[in-house]
Amino acid sequence: MRLTLKNKFLLPSLLLIFFGMGTSGTISYYKAKNAISDALNSQINQQAEETINLMDSWLNDQKRDIVYWSNRKDFVGLLAGTSSAETAVKDLQDLKKIIPTIYQ
């Protein structure tokens, strides 16, 4: 096969273009893959921290409620069987009236 002057320039040019495009595509693929992986790891870590904070907040609220209710003599007495249910019901009704004003 005899190569003309046109083909002598065209074939190496095409090979160089394809090799450059392949190299560029490969580098772009790996950089994008790493960027997506980093972004996903960052998002997972952020969601894990938010979940931990939410659970800590919930746990602190539960501890506060336990301390509050354990210091209420009428409810402690009701659980121990030494207080009447009417007093506890009245206190709960009063609390039910107060709660909407607290969370507004």
Burial 63-99 (b: 16+ CB within 10 A, else e): eeeeeeeeeeebbeebeeeebeeeebeeeeeeeeeee
Residue type, 63: K
Contact 51, 64 (CB under 8 A): no
**Most trustworthy range by pLDDT among 3-7, 16-20, 73-77, 99-103:** 16-20
- The 3-state DSSP class for residue 100 equals helix
**pLDDT tens per residue, range 56-70:** 999 998 998 888 777
The proportion of the chain whose per-residue pLDDT surpasses 70, expressed as a percent, equals: 92
Phi, psi of 103, rounded to the nearest 5 degrees:
-95, 25
Q: Where are the domains of the chain?
A: 15-58, 72-104
What is the structure's pLDDT at 1? 65
> Is residue 85 very low, low, confident or very high in pLDDT (cuts 50, 70, 90)?
confident
